[in-house]
Each structure stands twice: as C-alpha cells, then as structure tokens.
A and B are shown apart, each in its own frame.
Chain A
Amino acid sequence: MKTDIILCGVGGQGILSIATIIGEAAMNENLYIKQAEVHGMSQRGGDVQSNLRISSGPIASDLIPKGGADVIISMEPMEALRYLPYLNKEGWVITSSVPYVNIPNYPEIEDIKNALAKLPHVISIDIEQLAKDNLVPRSANVILLGAAQKALGIEYSKLEEAIRRVFARKGDAIVDANVKALAIGRQAQ
C-alpha cells in the first residue's frame, strides 16, 4: 500500500497532532513513513501544511509530487483548495467546512463551497459544531481524522490504538475525548 496525504490548515489549528496519530499508527504497522512539517515563522497564523507519506515500500522524497496526493485533510475549507494541484484525479478531500477568517480579502464562502462541490470525492463537515455538541471541544481535529479513515486506508482500530498511545501521557479524560471524537468523525464518512 502507498498513501500520500496532505494535511493543511492555519497555523495553530492542530494539523501536526493529526499527523502524529497517523504516523504512530503507520509505524506500529511497520510501514515506511516520511512526514515533512512546517515550523518557524509560517506557524504564526499563516497557511501551514504537512506532507505525510506512508507506504509498505521505501519512500524516496519527503515531498509529494504534484498530482500525487491521495488525500487532502484540511482544517479549513479555503486551505483545502490551496493544495488541489497536489491531488490526484481520484483523490479525496476531507475538510472542515468552517472558514477561519483572519485576512481582509477572504473569499465568499459560497464560492469556496462551489469549488469544493466540483471535486469527485469530498467530505466537508462542521467539525467545530460537532465537537461542541458532543462535548469534545478540543478534539475537532480528531473528528476530521475519523472522517478521513477510509480514505487513508488505515483500519479504524489501528487509529484508535494510536490515539490511546499518543495521548496516554495526558490522562484518561483526554484519551477518551479523542477516541470519542474519532468515532464521531467515522459516522460522517
């Protein structure tokens, strides 16, 4: 198997936590992993992305070639569109539907919705509302991960185990909230 994933959003939205969970699950399956992150200046409220590649064979490049990504997981709908040149023809876009408006020229949300609707495989969900309604307000990013589970080609139970390991140090309450968030996301697929 080989899955190339672009994780994106706005600095501070928690895309690296999603990457950590997927990476943990993949490493536990003895898969090869490469994950290019963004640190430094661009984390300050700018657009951020991470290239995550998992494969049963060795991976050469840390970066995904254009037209090569199987999945875009985006914490923000306009940011999902920014990486479309990297998506392959049958690729999936799993995105939060909630705009993060911190620039004066943010486009009309209807235009963004229309652009997303033109793509063959899209899951667009209001993860923030879902997180609030289900009393897991800090785990919106893991809801998104749950919604991406099938597109990622990773078994649900493997992701859940990875969450348990990644959050173990933070205590049972946080583990439980994230496991619940993953299940909520799964329903949205």
Chain B
Amino acid sequence: MKKLLLGDEAIALGAIHAGLSGVYAYPGTPSTEITEFIQSNDLAKERGIHSRWCTNEKTAMEAALGMSFMGKRALVCMKHVGLNVCADPFVNSGMTGVNGGVVVLVADDPSMHSSQDEQDSRFYGKFALIPTFEPSSQQEAYDMMEVAFDYSEQQCLPVLMRVTTRMAHSRAVVVAKDEARPENEMNYNAAAANWVLLPANARRRNDKVTAQQAELEEDAATSSFNKFIRPIRPMNPMSPMGKHPLGVIASGIAYNYVKEAGVELPILKISQYPLPKRLVRELLDECEKVMVVEEGQPFIEEQVRGVFESQNILGRLTGELPRTGELTPDCVGEALGIPAHRAEIPSLVAARPPQLCQGCGHRDVYTALNEVLKEYENPRVFGDIGCYTLGFLPPYKAIHSCVDMGASITMAKGASDAGQWPAVAIIGDSTFTHSGMTGLLDAVNENADITVIISDNLTTAMTGGQDSAGTNKFEAICRGLGVADEHLHVVVPLPKNMPEITDIIRKEINYHGVSVIIPRRECIQTFKRHAKEKKTAANS
C-alpha cells in the first residue's frame, strides 16, 4: 500500500508493522509526530499498543526497558536534547542489554530550528557501544524499523535510530506492507544477572559488549543500508596513481544532497554504524581524496581522520562544507564543484520572528510580571523551555535565561543563594512536571527566596498541544513538595484580572521564601481546536 508520509509517520508505521507493543515518549520537535501517529492509528488502537505521553524522556526510556525485559518490543522517541535527560538509562541499557527489541529514536535538529543546540546523537550511540541506524529516505526509515527491532533482539542490544529535522518533517510516498507482524508474547528469558548492574555483573557485561563491537562493525560493512556506489561514467579523469581524484562518504539524508548534485563520483553511503572502516578503506584505496558529507557534527569525518591520512579527508573540518548548520543541496553541490547560484533576498524584506499568539495567557503573565518588576532595582527572571521562551523577544523582553527543561527554578535558587533578589522563575506546566518538580523540592528544603510562576495552559503547547502530565495536579504537587498554602496561588491570566495578579506577584516577591503562583488558562490554540471539535460533533 502506498502512502504519503512524513519521515516521522513512516517510522511510526514501520514500528507498528514490526510488532511494536509500546511507544514511550515526551513531545519534542522534530520527533513528536511519531507518537501522535501511533496514538491515532487504528491497528495500534485495536492492539492496545501503549502510546500515552510520558512525563519525561527518562521515564520513557526506563518504561521501554521494562517492557523489553518482559520480552516485548518498545520504541522510545525524543528530540536530541531529550537524550541528555535519559542519558543514564540510555547508556546503561547498553550494559543490561535487551530482551524484546528496543529502538531509541532520536531526532536531531541541525541549524536549531526549534532547539538550544546542535548536538549529534550518533556520538551517544558510539559512547554507549550501541549500534546506530541513520535512514536517508522516508522509505528507508519505514523499512529500517523492522530490521532495527530484529537486530536489537539478535544482538541483545538497543538500537539507536538517528534522524534529523529534514527527514522527520518531510513527506514522501512510502510503500508499506499490508500486514503487521504479531506482537511478541510475554517472554521472560532474560539472564537476570545482566539486569542487575552491580559492579561484578556490569564488568562482565562491559567485557561482552566491548568484544561485540567488532561483530557490529562487520555487520555494518555487510548491511544493505550501507552501499558502495561506483560511478558508471566517472566525471573526472583518473590520477597518475590510477585513482579517482575525489570520492564521497555520505551519511543519512546528506546522501540525498550528493545525489541531487548529480556528480559521477565513487560514493560510500553510510546508514548503519559502527562506522565500517573496511568499506572506508576500500573507498580510500580507490580515491586520492575523500569528502565526508554528513548532517550534524563531523562524526564520521573525525573517525576517518584518526585512521587514515588526514590531509586527504575533506569536509566540515577543512572548510569545504560549513562547520555548523544544516546541510543544503546548495552547500553540498558547491563543495562537489557545482557552481553556486548567487541571489540575495531583496533588502526590503524584514525578519519575521515567531511570537506568542494573540490571546495567549503567557502574554498576560508577562504583562503583569513586567509591571511589578519595574518597581525593583535589579530583578532577574529565569525562563524555561516552551512557548513562553518567546517572552525574551520584544515587546516583553522579560526573561534573562533559558537553558534546559526545568532550569528556571534551580537557576533562580542558585542566583538567590548568590544574593540575587528578586529571583523569579517562570516555567510551563508540562516543563514543570518534566524536570521542574525536583528543583522545587531543593528550593523548599532550603526555603530559598524565590518566586516561581507555573504558567499553566493545560497542555504541552509548543509541540502542538499534547496532554500535559500534571494537569489538575499542580496545587497538590506543590503542597506535597512542601510549598506553604498561603504562598501558593492560582490566578486566571486575563487583562481584567491584572490588579489581582500584580498584587499577588508583588506580595510574593516581598515574601522571603518559596512561593508559587499558578496562572491558569487554556492555550488559545487548543482552545480553538476544542471549540471546533465541539461544533463538528454538534453538527454531525
């Protein structure tokens, strides 16, 4: 059956067809649509495949490992920075190994379309001694899922599958199977000692997994996803040494940009790691120089330079390709000798940055906060990850930091420890349950002089309105962590409530201890969607 699918959707369908029993994930651009697809897929519903959102990537990774322990197949999805959040279980899942297949799908975001950094997840795969797959097309992404689950079970290791924004969020026609494999039966035959990472067990596993690397590399050398493509009509004359002047190593989606350039060169396409050095050696034996074209950081390039004569290796480290940022057909073409198309954007075109929606409750929160903070000499506001990060931009210019999920509360506490006052944290509802709660406990235990605003719009808004784990539980969570009732407030962020909100913010800043203010009003986007759904339901 032919379907027009996003890369993310192809991955999701591939996983369902591979006999998936559960997807575990926290929303994060550009990975969100994988879990959403499974949530709305009829077969997944019929089979009762687990697809509810998790509180964060660490709880997701651990739940997937638990499912695997019982013999079933589990998929974990996240954006690249989510892998930092679950680095502990991810790396240690290489030590325990798996029983049912586990695929950890990580979507990197080169050029940082919606992210704080450009980290390349392939380094994590190498670091954790875990085989890594990197599809170059939506069809390959679909096909790869089943292979990855099989391989995970065959090697008793999780498989890391790495995609980038352009693969995740690009559609193409995918030929999918008509039938899905059955799910694995519950099958607890795991060697229990592998799963108890006491040093004595872990050392044994470490030796085993380290020794396994040579086999994984040889598997990559013979993988059908890695190909050595020799030119039919080479575009360059052979060198006096009888070699091609230039060859290419292209990985993942970068392979498409090399193909787009239409160059007749020897190409080694890489979509499965550990990097098969045997194939790289073959290419280098046939070429004077080799250009490494890869999306993200110079992962292959650095490894190849370490093994072969580095002056003949070209790529991001030598300036032929840009050192940072997403690849384009333009920069890859130019690096391969295709004349660049020079054209500029007309100078009158102005930048149009994203902004908070009209009618968004965060706007009212920032309006109130800014009005109160005018009264203080050196206020500092510690922001967090979500739509409200846009409060940094005019007209609000309201936040002074944004680092990672949950950092607003802990950074405000650290600043307060250093003597800063007022120290205000602003965090969204979903981000608070993701990683803010533990920091609030630190603050409560020391009665830190901070004011925490949990701007609750009843959803995970930035990624498109997914369920938020803490909805209806925030007052109870804050009380449970020890926030005093008299310093815990709920307000409705609307212009008409401005006097009440500003009074509360002022009073709590002047209170020298932990206070929490929860402005609560539904996200305007989900509100509109819900209204539309109601109308449609009423009409039908």
Q: Are B113 and A38 in contact (CB under 8 A)?
A: yes
Q: Is the CB of B329 within 8 A of A44?
A: no
Q: Does B114 contact A41, Cβ atoms closer than 8 Å?
A: yes
User: Quick one: given A39-B29, A60-B257, are A115 and B352 in contact (CB under 8 Å)?
Assistant: no
In the complex, per-residue mask of B380-421: 1 if CB is within 8 Å of any chain A CB, else 0: 000000010010000000000000000000000000000000
The reply on A78 being an interface residue by CB < 8 A is yes
In the bound complex, residues from chain A placing their C-beta under 8 Å from that of B346 are 81, 84, 115
Contact B343 A78 (CB under 8 A): no
- In the assembled complex, the CB of A161 is this many whole angstroms from the nearest CB of chain B, namely 15
Q: How far is the CB of B531 from chain A (nearest CB, A)?
A: 15
Contacts of B390 in A (CB 8 A): 41, 44
A45 near B354 (CB under 8 angstroms)?
Answer: yes
Give the interface segment out of B80-88, B90-98, B168-176, B218-226.
B168-176
Q: Is B156 an interface residue (CB 8 A)?
A: no
> In chain A, what residue has the closest Cβ to B169?
A37
- Which among B114, B346, B540 has the greatest number of chain A C-beta atoms within 10 A? B346
Q: Which B-chain residue is minimally distant from A19 (CB atoms)?
A: B171
Known A-B contacts A37-B171, A44-B355, A103-B350; A81 and B30 likewise in contact (beta carbons under 8 Å):
no
Cross-chain contact B343 with A34 (CB below 8 angstroms): no
A79: chain B residues at CB < 8 Å are 352
Other-chain residue from B257, B329, B464 in contact with A39 (beta carbon distance below 8 A): B464
* Closest B residue to A31 using CB positions: B173
Cross-chain contact of A85 among B170, B344, B357 (Cβ < 8 A)? B344
- A35-B345 contact given A45-B357, A61-B259, CB 8 Å threshold: no
Output the least CB separation between A103 and chain B (Å): 6
Q: Are A66 and B29 in contact (CB under 8 A)?
A: no
- The number of chain A residues with a CB under 8 A from chain B is 47
Contact status A63-B329, CB under 8 Å: yes
B500 contacts partner chain A, Cβ-Cβ < 8 Å: no
Q: Given A66-B343, A82-B345, check contact A61 B260 (CB 8 Å).
A: yes
- Which parts of A101-145 form the interface with B (CB within 8 Å)? 102-103, 105-107, 111-112, 115
Q: Which residues between 1 and 45 of chain B lie within 8 Å of chain A, taking CB atoms?
A: 2, 4, 6, 29-30, 32-33
Judge whether B253 is part of the interface by a CB distance below 8 angstroms: yes
- B502 part of interface (Cβ distance < 8 Å): no
Asked whether A62 is an interface residue with its Cβ less than 8 Å from the other chain, the reply is yes
Contacts of A51-81 to chain B: CB distance below 8 A:
59-68, 78-79, 81
Is A23 in contact with chain B by the CB < 8 A criterion? yes
Q: How far is the CA of A85 from the CA of B328 in the complex (A)?
A: 14
* Complex-state Cα separation, A102 to B350, whole angstroms: 11
In the complex the two chains form, is B2's CB within 8 Å of A27's CB?
A: yes
| Interface residues of chain B: helix, strand, loop or mixed (majority) | loop
CB <8 Å contact, B341 and A66: yes
CA distance A66 to B329 in the complex (A): 8
Q: For residue A106, which residues in chain B have a CB less than 8 angstroms away from its CB?
A: 350
Q: Please encode chain B, from 253 to 265, with 1 for each CB lying within 8 Å of some chain A CB and 0 for all others.
A: 1001101100000
Contacting A at CB under 8 A, from B317-360, are 328-330, 333, 340-341, 343-346, 348-357
Contact flag A35-B256 (CB < 8 Å), given A41-B462, A42-B113, A63-B166: no
B463 within 8 A of A: yes
On whether A23 and B355 interact (CB within 8 A), knowing A39-B464, A60-B260, A65-B330, the answer reads no
User: Nearest residue in B to A47 (C-beta to C-beta)?
Assistant: B352
Q: Are A39 and B33 in contact (CB under 8 A)?
A: yes
**A182 sits at the interface (CB 8 A):** no
- Rounded to whole angstroms, the CA-CA distance of A11 and B390 in the bound complex is 15
| CB pair A111 B33 closer than 8 Å | no
- Interface core residue of A23, A40, A45, A107 (most chain B CB under 10 Å): A40
Cβ < 8 Å to A, chain B residues 217-267? 253, 256-257, 259-260
Q: Report the Cα distance A65→B351, complex, angstroms.
A: 22
State whether A33 touches B171 (Cβ < 8 A): yes
Q: Which residue of B lies closest to A108 (CB)?
A: B348
Contact A105 B357, CB 8 Å, known A27-B4, A34-B170, A61-B329: no
Q: Does A10 have its Cβ within 8 Å of any Cβ on chain B? A: yes
- Shortest C-beta distance, B463 to chain A (Å), equals 7
Q: CB distance A35 to B172 under 8 Å?
A: yes
- Shortest A32–chain B CB gap in Å is 7
Contacts of B344 in A (CB 8 A): 85
Residues of the A chain whose Cβ atoms lie less than 8 Å from the Cβ of B343: 66-67, 84-85
Return chain B residues, CB-CB under 8 Å to A11: 354
When the two chains form their complex, are residues A39 and B169 in contact, meaning their CB atoms are under 8 A apart?
yes
Are B169 and A60 in contact (CB-based, < 8 A)? no
Instruction: List CB contacts (< 8 Å) of B163-187 with chain A.
Output: 166-167, 169-173
Report, nearest first, the 10 A-B pairs whose CB atoms are least far apart. A67-B341, A40-B29, A40-B114, A46-B354, A60-B259, A61-B260, A85-B343, A44-B354, A62-B170, A35-B171
**7 sample A-B contacts, Cβ–Cβ < 8 Å, listed by A number:** A10-B352, A35-B4, A35-B171, A39-B464, A45-B352, A47-B352, A82-B345
Interfacial residues, chain A to chain B (CB-CB below 8 A):
10-11, 23-24, 27, 32-47, 59-68, 78-79, 81-82, 84-85, 102-103, 105-107, 111-112, 115, 170-171
Q: Beyond the given A36-B170, A65-B329, A85-B345, could you list 18 further A-B residue pairs with CB under 8 A, ordered by the A residue number?
A: A34-B170, A37-B6, A38-B169, A40-B114, A44-B355, A44-B356, A44-B387, A46-B353, A60-B256, A60-B257, A60-B260, A63-B166, A65-B260, A67-B343, A78-B349, A78-B350, A85-B343, A170-B536
